Structure 1
Amino acid sequence: MKRLRNEPVLALGVAAIILITCLFVVWPIMKVISFTRLEDYVKIFTYSRWYHAALNSLFMTVISTLSCTVIAFIFAYTIARLKVPFKGLFKFITILPIVSPPFIVALSYILLFGRQGIISKYVLHVNIDVYGWHGLWLVQTMTFFPYAYAVIYGVLKSISNNLEYAAYNLGATHWQVFKNVFLPLCRPGIAGGALITAMNVLADFGNPMIIAGNFTVLPTEAYMQMSGLFDLNSAAVLSTALLIPALGLFVWNRAWVGKKSYVTVTGKETSLDHFPLPSFIKWGLFTFCLLITLIVLAVYGVLFYGAFTKTWGFDWSFTLQNLHYVTAKSREIFNSLKFALLASLAAGFFSLPLAFIVQRRQIGINRLLDFLAILPGAVPGVFLGLGFAMAFNEGPLLLSGTSLIMVLALMFWNLPTCYSANLAGLQQISGALEEASLNLGAGHFTTFRKIVLPLLKGPFISGIVVSFLRSVTCLSVIIFIYSAKTSVGTVSILGLVQNGAWGSASAFTVVLISIAFVVLAVAEFFLRKQGRSIEL
């Protein structure tokens, strides 16, 4: 606090950061929580539909997290430690769901296995009911296992082989080494990946909306209360019920990640090859990864096929009519790009000084600033969107129906992404460089502009790109706050799916995915010139 008194500019900046984050993060959260009375929350346990929705959400969180973690671990192990073909393809598969709208797997699953599905009707000649918890389980598994893979793969790459070789030299079997040596070293990554997956599954809105049928979960029930019955009180109760386990998972995840207990050997490192596995295990894992890869490719392949089909299930002739529909809805595409670009840039530039202050300036409230920066990451998108709808629906700050509320909601939803990227970049920059600059007479601002910013360019751009991709494909955050003038592509896709317009929905999805990959490819090209890559 003494430093703040001595540096008025820094004090003014910190005050502005706290004021803005409290206004656009804390205030919407408190608005939802305080909207209802305490006795209203009792309905979650006494009203059968809500009670079953809560149980269903927890049930799906458990089973989808387990299946996602198992698949992610097998993928990470195969890619990181086995000499098998198609590793590049396997890595590509783990990127696809992350840069796609969150519900496209549900759409593709219907196109493949629905009543007019290619496989169910025209290959197997059976009538499969894809709606319900089993369909949602498969869809969420295929959608969210890449999130767990990213964490687990990072840990597996850092594990040294030395302890395993020592165990083999002492006569341990493959199973004993895996169970007693390798798996304990993987626990931080497995736990971190599982927790991130659980948070995404719990807050999942798009997939249950499309394929869950009568199997209700908390996000869709909150949406129906708000949009169908216009019952804001009930929507607030259900959203808050969703917030409690999400916040608990987030805190647990931060505790695991914060430990960073991945070091296995200190001292001089050796470059031993991974100990070879028996052939039947190696090729069994490869076959499993190949099967998952074929499923994911089928999911995206059927989307591209459906985009150029006249009437799905009846008239398979080639047509460009669906793309003409997308052209007619160019305003939604433009809105998606505009809001995503403005929100990601705003999140990037707002998080940059915030991360710098937390990492480089000991001002006594660093933990508070860090908490405010990561808090939106603990809030389900549906909850945050509802909070913005309630907090800014009246004076003194009336934003409902405007483009500004869309940009602000997406900006603060992406704040933890940009903040984490900038913070990680700052941790890799030695403070000695700044001290040398200050000792040579440069001021704090000049040092930040000429020393820190150029070195932070890679993480800064990476955070903005990831935020842009998340914003383009986002649905849950904006579902409560969009208007006729501010509607975006994901909202149009959801409406098309609900109306059974599979071809137009597929075309719209293909366009959004193509945009996402073009942005990703361009950003990756420029970052590779600096020896960096985008961490999804």
Structure 2
Amino acid sequence: MRYAGEKRFNVWTALTLILLALFLLFVIYPIGMLIVKSLFVGGKVDLSYFVKFFSKKYYWVTLVNSFKVTVLSTLLACLIGVPMAYLLRSVKIRGSEFLNILIVISYLSPPFIGAYAWIQLLGRNGFITRILNALFHVKLHGIYGFAGIVLVFSLQSFPLIYMYVSGAMKNLDNSLNEAAESLGCNAFQRVTKVIFPLVLPSLLAGMLLVFMRVFSDFGTPMIIGEGYKTFPVMLYTQFMGEVGTNDGFAATMCVIVIVIALMFFFIQKLLGQKFTYSMTALKPMQAQEAEGWRKVCAHLAVYLVTLVAALPQITVIITSFIGTINGSLFTGEFTLDNYRNIFSKGNTVAIRNTYLFGLEAIVVVIVCGILISYLSVRKKNTLTGVLDVLTMFPYIIPGSVLGISFLYAFNGPPFLLGGTVIIMIIALSIRRMPYTIRSSTAIIGQISPSIEEASISLGASQVKTFLQITVPMMLPGVLSGAIMSWITLISELSSSVILYTSRTSTLTVAIYSEVIRSNFGNAAAYSTILTLTSIVSLLIFFKVSGSKDLSV
């Protein structure tokens, strides 16, 4: 949108160029370094690293394993998430607001925390395992391997499908549903022929994010895989073991991940465009009071799924107050020793860093998110179009790949940022900014340009109009995206575990380190702090925004 008398090069063009330069530096440049290291050896093009990967079963089988885990986990997440969204939107469920918080929290906590919690429940010596062994006189071997990985990922990921589909149903015009009913369609036909096609674009977007989240996670397979190696685990072990001698092969594996991620991203975009529908919810879908067996079944299904999804967080909180012997064997006695350990002198660095880095990163995310969304919608041109595309790259590229690319790009001249606080904040900001950008873009699209035009016609400058008129009207969408950015960035592990040093460790890194060292008491205490932070953040968001749920 260009106003009369507006110069071609102005403050908006300058901001676009600055933001574009930042994304070129912190997204394209690191990716370029990966490509160079994977393709060039001694200044010449060499495909030997790619040949090595695809010619040895030891390497490429991990890619097959990842696809098996990812596809099955994504499908199971859809089978759980879609019915949950429909039930909570169409049927009045008692305590639905509280249930919604539990569902969101079960997604926002790092997957490896869920893996650790399920080991406490269904491991070889887990609480539920011992009960089942005693009742049925069997010897269960625990939740390890392929089945365990899929279980953890499915329960951790279905809330994302739930949020996307629930958000789509919130904007669905119920008059379409009523029209189908008047034409003789039963409940099943209305769901499959009316509601499902309308929410399909949102479902596809959610499936892409679930796919990339599962495909890129290495914490869960590392903890409960027990020999079932996935691609991220192989990438992590290769990088950590070979970064000093053969970083070209690690870079090659990163490039393979990027190509796969981009491929699925564009497939999702094409399918989303093909099945996109435009509608206005003149009569939004409202939850109705159910009767009889339908009410009982709906409540049982929603409560049971929510309980199972929240069980890892409940387990972590309870075990954080149970004493341990040498950190790994729980005594069964309630105590505050675990918290005394993590709050003892020298152990609070991770906690302090998490909040400090998180607050600094969220400021960057909000400022850049508002500017990028405004430029993309109101100042459309080639530059803003390129900027909008670049902002999506961190959305789909795995965090471990981003972390490795940052080390390659900024661990030597001319950019010496490795091991610094700055690189941690930049990585967190870049990784989680897309949440705020997408939600801000959606809200500004609903603001009529005539409001800004009226302000300018009354003598206000474009900058003043933006700051005093547009930004305040954008706040609901900005807050929604910012809370997602905040909670996910304080829970970020994939990039942090690659980039951190002893001075820049975060809560997720501390939790992961304690789990690997079998210090389960300390890990539970750290995890509880992270979980409670997420819950408090959500409650503050609901209070400030007046919203009753967090849908995407």
Shared fold, TM over 0.5 = yes
Contact 2:221 / 2:230 at 8 angstroms: preserved in 1?
Answer: yes
1:113 paired to 2:151 = no
Distance 1:519 1:18 in 2: 31
For residues 212-251 of structure 1, the aligned pairs below 5 Å read 212-230=225-243, 231-251=246-266
Distance 1:207 1:525, change over 3 A: same
Hey, what does 1:416 align to over in structure 2?
434
Write the deviation string for residues 172-223 of structure 1: whole angstroms up to 9, x where unpaired.
Answer: 4444444434433343233232222112111122212211221111111111
Matched, 1:253 2:262: no
The answer to whether the 8 A contact 1:68-1:148 is kept is yes
Matched to 2:35, the amino acid is: I
Name the stretch that deviates more: 300-309 or 223-232: 223-232
Secondary structure at 2:411's aligned position in 1?
Answer: coil
- 2: CA distance between counterparts of 1:496 and 1:273? 46
Correspondence list, 1:396-415, <5 A? 396-415=414-433
State the distance in 2 between where 1:229 and 1:345 align: 36
Check the 8 A contact 1:158/1:263 in 2, yes or no: no
Q: TM-score, normalised by structure 2?
A: 0.89
- Hey, what's the Cα distance between the residues in 2 that align with 1:258 and 1:372? 19
- How far apart, in 2, do the equivalents of 1:456 and 1:271 lie? 22
| Equivalent runs, 1:240-319 vs 2, <5 Å | 240-255=255-270, 261-263=276-278, 269=282, 283-311=296-324, 313-319=329-335
Q: Contact (CA 8 Å) 2:424, 2:500: kept in 1 or not?
A: yes
- 1:101 and 1:509 in contact (8 A); partners too: no
Q: Tell me the CA shift for residue 34 of structure 1.
A: 2.1
SS in 1 for 2:111: coil
SS in 2 for 1:456: helix
Pick from 33, 37, 42 the counterpart of residue 35 of structure 1.
37
Query: CA 1:356–1:159 in structure 2 vs 1: closer, same or farther (change >3 Å)?
Result: closer
275-284 or 233-242: bigger deviation:
275-284
Measured in 2, the distance between the counterparts of 1:303 and 1:183 equals 36
- Say whether residues 1:505 and 2:507 are aligned partners: no
Distance 2:413 2:238 in 1: 24
TM-score (norm: length of structure 1): 0.92
Q: Distance in 1 between matches of 2:285 and 2:261?
A: 41
Shift of 1:88: 3.1
Equivalence for 1:425 = 443
| 1:60 to 2:99 alignment | no
- Alignment map for 1:250-399 (pairs within 5 Å): 250-255=265-270, 261-263=276-278, 269=282, 283-311=296-324, 313-328=329-344, 329-399=347-417
Matches within 5 A, 1:428-507: 428-507=446-525
Query: Per the alignment, in what secondary structure is the counterpart of residue 187 of structure 1?
Result: helix
Q: CA deviation at 1:416?
A: 1.2
CA distance in 1, matches of 2:7, 2:81: 50
Separation of aligned partners in 1, 2:469 and 2:76: 46
Does the C-alpha gap of structure 1 residues 19 and 275 become closer, same or farther in structure 2, counting only changes over 3 Å? Answer: closer
Paired with 1:342 and 1:265, the residues of 2 have a C-alpha distance of: 38
The residue that corresponds to 2:205 in the other structure is 192
Residue aligned with 2:323, SS? strand
8 Å CA contact 2:444–2:474 kept in 1: the answer is yes
Aligned sequence identity (%): 28
Contact 2:91–2:288 (8 Å) recurs in 1: no
Per-residue deviation, 1:510: 0.3
- Higher mean alpha-carbon deviation, 315-324 vs 282-291, is at 282-291
1:517 corresponds in structure 2 to 535
How far apart, in 2, do the equivalents of 1:168 and 1:525 lie? Answer: 37
* Contact 2:38-2:255 within 8 A present in 1 as well: no
Give 1:469 deviation, angstroms: 1.2
Farther-moved stretch of structure 1 (194-203 vs 172-181): 172-181
In structure 1, stretches of 5+ residues that fail to align are none
Q: 1:272 to 1:420 in 2, by over 3 A?
A: closer
CA spacing shift, 1:351–1:175, aligned 2, 3 Å: closer
Between 1:336-345 and 1:80-89, the stretch displaced more is 80-89
Residues 308 and 319 in structure 1, CA contact (< 8 A), matched pair in contact too: yes
1:381, 1:477 within 8 Å by CA — same for their partners in 2? yes
Of the structure 1 ranges 124-133 and 28-37, higher mean CA displacement relative to structure 2 is found in 124-133
Question: Which of 19, 24, 34 is the equivalent residue of 1:22?
Answer: 24
- Report if the CA contact (8 A) 1:222-1:236 is conserved: no
In structure 1, how many angstroms separate the alpha carbons of the residues matched to 2:155 and 2:196?
24
Deviation track 1:65-93 (CA, whole Å, cap 9, x = no partner) reads: 00000100110111011244343343223
SS of the residue corresponding to residue 226 of structure 2 reads coil
The offset of 1:147, in angstroms, is 0.7
Report the CA distance between 1:475 and its aligned residue: 0.2
Q: Which amino acid aligns with 1:100?
A: S
Deviation at 1:463, TM superposition (A): 3.0
Q: 1:260 to 1:451 in 2, by over 3 A?
A: farther
| C-alpha displacement of 1:114 | 1.0
Equivalent position SS for 1:103: helix
Give yes or no for contact 1:117–1:313 (8 Å, CA) kept in 2: no
Q: Is the 8 A contact 1:208 1:217 kept in 2?
A: yes
- Is 1:183 paired with 2:205? no
Residue 13 (structure 1) shift: 2.0
Q: Give the secondary-structure state (helix, strand or coil) at the position aligned to 2:332.
A: strand
SS at match of 2:125: coil
Counterpart amino acid of 1:7?
F
- 1:18 shift after superposition: 1.4
In 1, the alpha carbon distance for the partners of 2:367 and 2:178 equals: 47
Letter in 2 for 1:13: L
Name which of 73, 79, 95 aligns with 2:88: 79
Alpha-carbon distance, 1:25 to partner:
0.9
Secondary structure (helix, strand or coil) at the match of 2:228 reads coil
Distance apart, 1:137 and its partner CA? 0.4
Aligned residue type for 1:444: Q
CA contact 1:527–1:533 (8 Å) conserved in 2: no
8 Å contact from structure 1 (residues 72, 149) kept in 2: yes
> CA 1:189 to 1:464, structure 2 compared with 1: closer, same or farther past 3 Å?
closer
- Could you tell me which amino acid in structure 1 is paired with residue 206 of structure 2? G
The residue number in structure 2 matching 1:46 is 55
Aligned-residue offset at 1:341: 1.1
Cα offset for 1:167?
A: 4.0
1:29-86 deviation digits (Å, cap 9, x = unpaired): 1111221123311233211121110001111111000000010011011101124434
- SS of the residue 2:86 aligns to: helix
Question: 2:375 & 2:280 partners in 1: Cα distance?
Answer: 33
Q: How many residues align?
A: 532
How far apart in 2 are the matches of 1:322 and 1:296? Answer: 25
Is 1:140 the counterpart of 2:149? The answer is no
SS at structure 2 position matched to 1:433: helix
Deviation by residue 1:304-357 (Cα, 9 ceiling, x = unmatched): 121111126551112211111221321111111111111111121122222211
